């Protein structure tokens, strides 16, 4: 009697559609969760018998999972600040440069408000906006060190590309504003030029020259980017270099005006505008191409076409479609491919052939989808 009752008790089904004797789901999830998150030995699994007072495993553990996930998010936010504190040499140099610019722009803003000089206030706001972009570059350096997670499966490396693109966009806007300022100086009377701005320009030039010295290894126009860090450092160097050229142009224009040279401000600002535009345009094109997921420039289109033809020439492949290749970050090429193969063919040799073919071209991550006729 007891055996029959016990047998019926253990063979009835729960609401989950599983036999109540099957505890494998609860046990495996409990063990893996504790080992990966809490680093504790596995607990005895909670029974899912319907007549027991204990709740199912998922409903009991959901509060613990939520609590730990909130703590993980909190620690992820703090990891950026830890990276800033224990950052590399370039990051510490950038922090020092930002501090100098913030101190100088604050002093310039205070003097401009106290003396009522609009030129100083305008230049202080320009420097403040530039400090914001440099701060974003430093944040990108710190955040890019985080590992990939469920939200960002490729990681945070592309933040450095976005930071470089933002700096390039700001410098293009500065080039356009300098061209407008040169046109305005051509229309108005140059005798009204504020010569006191030369003091501000000299101080700003000295501060920016410190930044140029910090990132002097990246002071090139066409730089070969081996990783996203190179792109971000290059954008910071171009930022301070463009500000230095702008300050030098203002100093030169003020000096020429003091000598009585006509249209000196128009000439100097025009030259600075063209120089900044030519300096930053290559970086703008490269970063924009990566963010738009253009074909990687490191791999010629003829090489991709050759690989396509080699795959199609196989007897077991009937069609190749949806071939897409792009650069995730500098030095990391990603691609995807769809193959139509004959039914009943072993796809392992095909996958090995395709992966080896594109790996030789420099494609690090390749996803191949195989469909059968």
Return the minimum-mean-pLDDT range out of 106-115, 121-130, 195-204, 206-215: 195-204
Using 50, 70 and 90 to split pLDDT, how confident is the model at 372?
Answer: confident
191 and 91 part of one domain: yes
Q: What is the pLDDT of residues 339-349, one digit of tens each?
A: 999 888 888 89
* Separation of alpha carbons 335 and 322, rounded Å: 10
List of long-range contacts for 298-303, beta carbons under 8 Å, 24+ apart: 298/327, 298/333, 298/362, 299/325, 299/333, 299/361, 299/362, 299/363, 303/361
- End of a domain among 292, 321, 338? 292
CATH label of the domain that carries residue 338? 3.30.70.1350
246 and 222 part of one domain: yes
Whether 99 shows a pLDDT value over 90: the answer reads yes
**Domain assignment of residue 330, yes or no:** yes
Residue 87 has a pLDDT of 61
Tell me how many domains the chain contains.
Answer: 2
* Separation of alpha carbons 234 and 331, rounded Å: 15
258 and 308 part of one domain: no
238 and 122 part of one domain: yes
Residue 190 has a pLDDT of 53
82 and 211 part of one domain: yes
Residue 189 has a pLDDT of 62
- End of a domain among 269, 292, 315? 292
Return the minimum-mean-pLDDT range out of 188-192, 235-239, 244-248, 335-339: 188-192
Whether 197 shows a pLDDT value over 80: the answer reads no
Residue 80 has a pLDDT of 52
**Domain assignment of residue 27, yes or no:** no
**Domain assignment of residue 6, yes or no:** no
**Domain assignment of residue 221, yes or no:** yes
Q: Which domain holds residue 123?
A: 72-292
Whether 108 shows a pLDDT value over 50: the answer reads yes
76 and 134 part of one domain: yes
Using 50, 70 and 90 to split pLDDT, how confident is the model at 221?
Answer: confident
**Domain assignment of residue 243, yes or no:** yes
156 and 113 part of one domain: yes
225 and 76 part of one domain: yes
Whether 60 shows a pLDDT value over 50: the answer reads no
**Domain assignment of residue 258, yes or no:** yes
306 and 288 part of one domain: no
Residue 73 has a pLDDT of 46
Mean pLDDT of 13-31: 37
Across the chain, how many H-helices and E-strands are there? Answer: 11, 3
More confident residue, 217 or 12: 217
279 and 312 part of one domain: no
Across the chain, mean pLDDT equals 78
Residue 169 has a pLDDT of 95
Counted residue by residue, the chain has a size of 373
Whether 219 shows a pLDDT value over 60: the answer reads yes
Whether 351 shows a pLDDT value over 80: the answer reads yes
Question: What's 203-224 look like in SS3?
Answer: HHHHHHHHHHHHCHHHCCCCCC
109 and 143 part of one domain: yes
Whether 68 shows a pLDDT value over 70: the answer reads no
Mean pLDDT of 310-335: 91
**Domain assignment of residue 311, yes or no:** yes
- End of a domain among 292, 314, 341? 292
More confident residue, 177 or 191: 177
**Domain assignment of residue 114, yes or no:** yes
Residue 290 has a pLDDT of 94
Residue 41 has a pLDDT of 43
Residue 98 has a pLDDT of 94
261 and 164 part of one domain: yes
The answer to whether 134 touches 98, Cβ cutoff 8 Å, is yes
Q: How far is CA 308 from CA 48, 294, 301, 304, 338, in A?
A: 54, 18, 11, 6, 11
Mean pLDDT of 53-73: 40
Whether 314 shows a pLDDT value over 60: the answer reads yes
Whether 81 shows a pLDDT value over 60: the answer reads no
Largest CA distance in the chain: 117
Q: What is the pLDDT of residues 269-289, one digit of tens each?
A: 899 999 999 999 999 999 999
For residues 271-290, b (16+ Cβ closer than 10 Å) or e, as one string? Answer: bbbebbbebbebbbebbebb
CATH label of the domain that carries residue 116? 1.20.1510.10
Residue 2 has a pLDDT of 41
């Amino acid at each position: 009697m007891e055996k029959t009752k016990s047998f019926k008790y253990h063979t009835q089904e729960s609401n989950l559609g599983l036999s109540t004797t099957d505890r494998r789901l609860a046990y495996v999830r409990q063990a893996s969760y504790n080992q990966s998150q809490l680093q504790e030995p596995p607990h005895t699994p909670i029974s899912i018998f319907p007549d027991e007072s204990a709740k199912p495993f998922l409903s009991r553990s959901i509060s613990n999972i939520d609590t730990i996930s909130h703590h993980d998010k909190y620690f992820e936010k703090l990891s950026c600040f830890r990276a800033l504190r224990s950052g590399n040499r370039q990051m510490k140099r950038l922090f020092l440069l930002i501090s100098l610019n913030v101190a100088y722009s604050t002093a310039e803003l205070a003097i401009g408000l106290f003396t009522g000089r609009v030129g100083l206030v305008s230049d202080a706001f320009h420097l403040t906006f530039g400090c914001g972009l440099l701060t974003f570059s430093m944040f990108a350096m710190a955040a890019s060190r985080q590992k990939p997670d469920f939200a960002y499966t490729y990681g945070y490396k592309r933040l450095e590309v976005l930071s470089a693109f933002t700096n390039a966009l700001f410098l293009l806007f500065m080039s356009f504003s300098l061209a407008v300022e040169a046109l305005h100086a051509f229309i108005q009377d140059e005798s009204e030029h504020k010569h006191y701005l030369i003091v501000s320009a000299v101080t700003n030039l000295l501060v920016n020259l410190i930044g140029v010295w910090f990132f002097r290894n990246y002071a090139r126009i066409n730089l070969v980017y081996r990783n996203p860090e190179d792109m971000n450092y290059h954008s910071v160097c171009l930022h301070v270099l463009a500000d230095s050229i702008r300050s030098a142009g203002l100093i030169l224009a003020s000096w020429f005006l003091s000598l009585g040279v006509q249209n000196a401000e128009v000439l100097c600002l025009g030259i600075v505008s063209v120089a900044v535009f030519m300096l930053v345009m290559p970086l703008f094109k490269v970063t924009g191409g990566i963010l738009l997921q253009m074909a990687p420039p490191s791999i010629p289109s003829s090489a991709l076409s050759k690989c396509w033809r080699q795959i199609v020439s196989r007897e077991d492949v009937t069609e190749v479609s949806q071939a897409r290749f792009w650069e995730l970050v500098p030095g990391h090429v990603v691609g995807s491919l769809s193959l139509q193969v004959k039914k009943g063919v072993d796809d392992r040799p095909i996958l090995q052939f395709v992966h080896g073919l594109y790996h030789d071209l420099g494609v690090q991550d390749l996803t191949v989808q195989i469909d059968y006729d």
